[in-house]
Chains A and B, each alone.
Chain A
Amino acid sequence: MRQLIRFEIGKMLQKPLVWAALIALAAFVVTMGYNWIAPGYAAISTEENGQRVLIEGFKAIPMAKEIAAAYSGPVTDEKVRAIVETFDMPDAFWEASAIDPSREAYCSHNLMYDTLSSHGFVNPDGSYSGRTIQEELGPLAPEMILGYSTGWECTINLLMYTFLLAGCILVIIVAPVFSEEYTSHMDALILSGIHGRRKCALAKIISSYLIALTGSVLCLALCTLTFLAIHGFAGWDSSVQLGELGIFDKTPFLLNWLQAYGLACISWLGGMLVLTSIVLVVSALAKGSFSALVIAFTIYALPMFLPWNLLPDNIALFGYLLPITQMQLMKLFRIDLITLGRIRFAPVFLALPITVIALLIGILWSKKGFSHHQVT
C-alpha cells in the first residue's frame, strides 16, 4: 500500500501545471507575507523637528507594541478618550505634509488610534467623537480587551487568502486523480489488476488527503512561525473586535486572537478536507479529467459569489460551511454562538462533524465510483 501511495503522490505532483500552481502559491505567500507579516504594514506617525514622520516596517513593530502595552487591558471610555487625545496630531503637522487636517482620521497614526478611528470614536478631523464604548462596540464592550493585535490579524488575513488560493491548487491536483485514468485509458489496466479496485483506489484517496493535509499544515506552519518570530505572542488575549483591520469586528461574541486563530485553523483544515472529498467524488464520477476539473472548480468557487447574507442566519450557515466560505472565515465569524441544550459553541465547530461526514462520503463514494467505473 505504501508503495502505491508513493506512486500516486508522484503522479499527482509531477505535472507541469501542478508545479506552476505551487510556484504561484509560494510567490503569493512570500509577497503577501512581506506586506502583511514581515516586516508587515505596521506604521507609526510621530513628530520629528515639528514635522510628521511615518515610521514603517521592522522599526515600527516594537514602537507599536510599546504603545499597545501602555493601553492594553479592558477597553473603557477613559482609555478611548486618552488614546484619541494623545495621538491627535496638530494641524500644522498635516499641513507640512500637504495633508488636509480635516481628513486626519483617515491617515495612519498607530494601531491603537487607527483601531478606534475605524470604530467611530474619532471625528474626521482627528478629534474624539465622544461616543461611548457601548454605543460603538455593543453590550459586550466592557468585557473587550485592547492589545497588540496587528500580527495576529495580519497573519489570519494572509492565511485566509493563502487557503483560498490553496483550494484552487488542490482542485488542480486532485481533480485528475481518477478522471485522468479514464482519459489516458489506464483505467482498463488498473481495474483489471488484483489491487486496482480496492488498494489502488484507496491509495489515490489517501494520497489526496495527505497532500491536502500536508500542504495546509505547511502553509500554516510557515506563516505562523514567521509571525511568531517577528511579532511574538503579544496581544493573544485581546479581542478580535478591536483589530486594526476590522476583519472580525462584526463577531457577536467574545473572542480573543488566540481563540480566533484556533477556530480559523479548524475552519481552514476542515475546508480543505471537505474540498478534497468533493473533488475526489467528482473525479471518480466524471467522464474525463477536463470535465472533472471544470465541475470541481465550479463547485468550489461558485458559493463565494452567492448572496448568502440575504438569507436568515440559520439557513445561510449551511452556505457559510461550504469549503470556500468556510476558508473565508468572516461570514462564519459573524454568526452568533449556537445553543444546543446547555452548551453554547461557535458555529465554526460545526466544521468538525461536517468534515468527518465529508471524509466518509469522499472515501466511500469515490472508491465505489472508481471500482464500478465502466471502461469505454
Chain B
Amino acid sequence: MELRIEHLTKQYGSFFAVNDINIVLTRGVYGLLGANGAGKTTLMRLLCDIQTPTCGTIRYDGQDIRTYGDHYRNVLGYLPQDFGYYPNFTALKFLLYMSAIKGLSKGFAMQRSLELLEEVGLLQVKDKKIKTFSGGMKQRLGIAQAMLNDPKVLVLDEPTAGLDPKERVRFRNLISSFSQNKIVLLSTHIVSDVEYIAGDILVMKQGKFIHEGRPDEIIRSIDGKVWECSVPNADVPSLERSYNIGNMRMEGASTVLRVINEEKPMENAVSVSPNLEDLYLYYFNEEENMK
C-alpha cells in the first residue's frame, strides 16, 4: 500500500500553493507541519481529489487517483479543516447520511455508526442535534465520519485546531487508535500534535517539503542551533527583536531564554537539545512574524 506523489503542483495565477512535490507515503502516520499558507490544505485537497492539480500525479498502488476515481474514494477518509456538517442533523443521522455517501449498506451503516459513536465518546448524545455540540465533539464526529468506511488512506487537515488541551490530547489518542494499517496524513501547525503520534514528519514551506523524516532525524538537522541563556529582565525586549526566541522563563530578576540561532547568541549561552517546537520556530519564525 503506497501513495506516490510525483511532481505535484497547484498554481493560482503566479502563486504556487503546492510546488513540484515528490514523495512516497506508505503505511504509518505522517505529520505535515507548516505555517498557515504553507500549502498544507491544498496538498490535502489534491490528495482527496477534490481539487485538480495544475500538473503532476498522485498514484495509489500504482493507479492514478483521478482515473481510479471511485475505487480510490472507497479507501479514502477525510476530515477537512473547515469540517462541514448539517446543524439540524443529529450525530447518528449525520453518520448515516455520510454512510450512504460512502456506499455502506443500510444495516451495516447503523452498526458501524453506533460503533464509531461509542469509540469517539458520542454515543450518549447520538440523538442530539450537531448544532448543540462543542468544538471538540464536532471534531470527534468528524473523525468518526472519516472512519466510517475503514479507510486505507486517512487525511486529517488541522483536526485539533481550536480545541482545548484536554480535547486535543483526547483527539490525538483517537487518531492513534485509528491509525493501524493505514496511511495517515495529519496536517497541523500545532507541534505537539505530531510530536506524539507521527512516525514521520513532513515540513512544508511555500508549497514545498523542506524536510522529511523521523522526528528525531529532523530535529537533528538543527543540532547546535538551540541555546539557553539567562539575561536580565530589562534586556528581554531588545533580545526579542534581535533573535528568534522560543520559551521564556522568569527567574527573579533574570529570564531564561531559549534562543534559536545559527551562532551562539551571547557569552553565557549554552547549547541545548532541540525539540520539534524549536524546529518549527527555526523554519517558520518569519511567517509567524509576518502574521
A contact residues vs B (CB 8 Å cutoff): 3-4, 7, 11, 14, 181, 184-196, 198-200, 374-375
Contacts and interface: CB of A to CB of B under 8 A. Distances in A.
A194 B83 contact: no
Given A188-B78, A195-B102, A7 B97 contact: yes
B74 to A, nearest CB: 5
Contacts, number: 73
Interface in B222-248: none
Given A14-B88, A196-B73, A191 B50 contact: yes
A11 B101 CA distance: 14
Leading 4 A-B pairs by shortest Cβ distance = A185-B84, A193-B101, A186-B84, A375-B50
A212 B50 CA distance: 30
B103 interface: yes
A369 to B, nearest CB: 14
A10 to B, nearest CB: 9
A184 B84 contact: yes
A190 B82 CA distance: 13
Contact of B102 (A185, A188, A193): A193
B160 interface: no
B108 interface: no
A216 to B, nearest CB: 27
Nearest to A203: B100
B73 A7 contact: no
A185 B41 CA distance: 14
A185 B83 contact: yes
Contact of A189 (B49, B98, B149): B98
Interface string B97-114: 110111100100000000
A247 B160 CA distance: 65
Interface residues of B, number: 27
Contacts of A190: 101
Nearest to B88: A14
A248 B26 CA distance: 73
Contacts of B70: 194, 198
B85 A375 contact: no
Contact of B85 (A4, A186, A195, A198): A186
7 contacts: A181-B84, A185-B82, A194-B70, A194-B101, A195-B100, A200-B101, A374-B51
Contacts of B51: 374-375
B101 A195 contact: yes
Contacts of B102: 193-195
A3 to B, nearest CB: 5
Interface of B: 45, 48-52, 70, 73-74, 76, 78, 80, 82-86, 88, 97-98, 100-103, 106, 145, 149
A317 B187 CA distance: 58
B48 A188 contact: yes
B99 to A, nearest CB: 9
A193 B98 contact: yes
A200 B80 CA distance: 19
Nearest to A198: B70
A185 B82 CA distance: 6
Contacts of A189: 78, 80, 83-84, 98, 101, 145
Interface centre among B51, B83, B84 (most CB of A within 10 A): B84
Contact of A4 (B52, B100, B149): B100
B84 A374 contact: no
B84 A11 contact: no
Nearest to A189: B84
B279 to A, nearest CB: 30
Contacts of B50: 187-188, 191-192, 374-375
Contacts of B73: 192-194, 196
Nearest to B48: A192
A183 to B, nearest CB: 9
Nearest to B142: A189
A188 B52 CA distance: 13
A4 B109 CA distance: 13
B87 to A, nearest CB: 9
B90 to A, nearest CB: 12
B106 A3 contact: yes
A263 B19 CA distance: 60
A188 B84 contact: yes
A69 B33 CA distance: 87
